[in-house]
Amino acid sequence: MMSAYTNINLSVDIVETRTVGEEVEIMWYTVGQRTNATTGVVQNLRSANMALFKYDQAGKMRFYRVSNHPAAPATP
């Protein structure tokens, strides 16, 4: 089985004032398709991705952790 990966650059502008230690969640969805090699059936997929950031003492938003939920069949 072959897999294809695409790099995505995500840019977010946050305009609210944040405090030290405050967490910011950024969530996005990726969509794609996979074909069953046996049956030839094409299935649409959607995957939820979330990155959590925290503000440090210098007021910079720093990456904290990421949570990727496995691809699941997309609902119509």
pTM: predicted TM-score of the whole model, two decimal places: 0.42
Domain boundaries, the chain: 1-76
Rounded to whole angstroms, how far apart are CA atoms 30 and 36?
Answer: 19
Q: Is the pLDDT of residue 51 over 70?
A: yes
> DSSP state, 21?
T
Given a cut of 70, is residue 68 above it in pLDDT?
no
pLDDT for 1: 45
Q: Note the pLDDT tens digit of each residue in 7-50.
A: 666 666 665 666 777 777 777 777 788 888 889 888 888 777 78
